[in-house]
């Protein structure tokens, strides 16, 4: 079992799994804390911390103990993973706004009621074309008003998987609605 930070760093670079475990025990809470403060979401911070150590382990050939410390290298990876998480969050928000912008029934008038019913049928058809997982995640989000964390808890899926299904489902739904809207004009 490695004792010093230098022993951990050297073993980590050489692919010693006990050094990975030691690095996680020693610096995992630091990585998590930095991510949690930057993201403001504990579940997202857990995902980022996991991604940091997986990424560090896979990219360990790029770590040179003679050029810097392992914690500093891990913090560099953490900054990139936080930036990735924030970008994903921004993309999800843009996707939701884009789908929300497609109005089901702009103004309810006597003549628009049949149009609103038709729009609902089109949306149901579009939802039916999604994968089962994407449809389930979107239905839980929109109809049950659940957050992605709550959806992950309810379905037993990892939070990252829920986010991926939501994003891909929204993109597919948006494309399909745009096709339908384009064909109707």
pLDDT beneath 50, residues of the chain: 103-108
Chain centroid offset of residue 128 CA: 23
The confidence score (pLDDT) of residue 164 equals 92
CATH class name, domain 5-89: mainly alpha
The confidence score (pLDDT) of residue 119 equals 65
Contact between 94 and 140 under an 8 Å Cβ cutoff? The reply is: no
Write down the pTM of the prediction. Answer: 0.55
Architecture of domain 106-184: Orthogonal Bundle (1.10)
156: left (phi over 0), alpha (psi -120 to 50) or beta: left
The confidence score (pLDDT) of residue 142 equals 78
Measured distance CA(139)–CA(99) in Å, rounded: 14
- Rg over alpha carbons for the chain, rounded to the nearest Å, is 22
The confidence score (pLDDT) of residue 34 equals 96
In the chain, domain spans: 5-89, 106-184
Measured distance CA(28)–CA(128) in Å, rounded: 42
Same CATH topology for 5-89 and 106-184: the answer is no
The confidence score (pLDDT) of residue 100 equals 65
The confidence score (pLDDT) of residue 185 equals 59
pLDDT digits (tens, 9 = 90+) for 32-45: 999 999 999 899 99
């Amino acid at each position: 079992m490695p004792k010093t930070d230098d022993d951990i760093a050297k073993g980590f670079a050489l692919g010693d799994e006990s050094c990975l475990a030691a690095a996680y025990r020693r610096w995992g809470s630091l990585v998590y804390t930095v991510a949690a403060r930057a993201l403001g979401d504990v579940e997202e911070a857990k995902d980022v911390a996991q991604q940091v150590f997986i990424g560090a382990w896979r990219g360990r050939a790029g770590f040179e103990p003679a050029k810097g410390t392992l914690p500093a290298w891990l913090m560099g990876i953490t900054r990139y993973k936080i930036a990735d998480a924030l970008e994903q969050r921004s993309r999800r928000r843009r996707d939701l706004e884009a789908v929300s912008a497609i109005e089901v029934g702009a103004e309810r008038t006597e003549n628009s009621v049949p149009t609103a019913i038709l729009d609902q049928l089109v949306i149901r058809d579009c939802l039916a074309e999604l994968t089962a997982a994407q449809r389930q995640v979107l239905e839980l989000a929109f109809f049950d008003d659940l957050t992605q964390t709550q959806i992950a808890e309810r379905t037993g899926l990892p939070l990252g998987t829920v986010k991926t299904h939501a994003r891909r489902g929204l993109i597919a739904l948006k494309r399909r609605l745009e096709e339908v809207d384009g064909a109707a004009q």
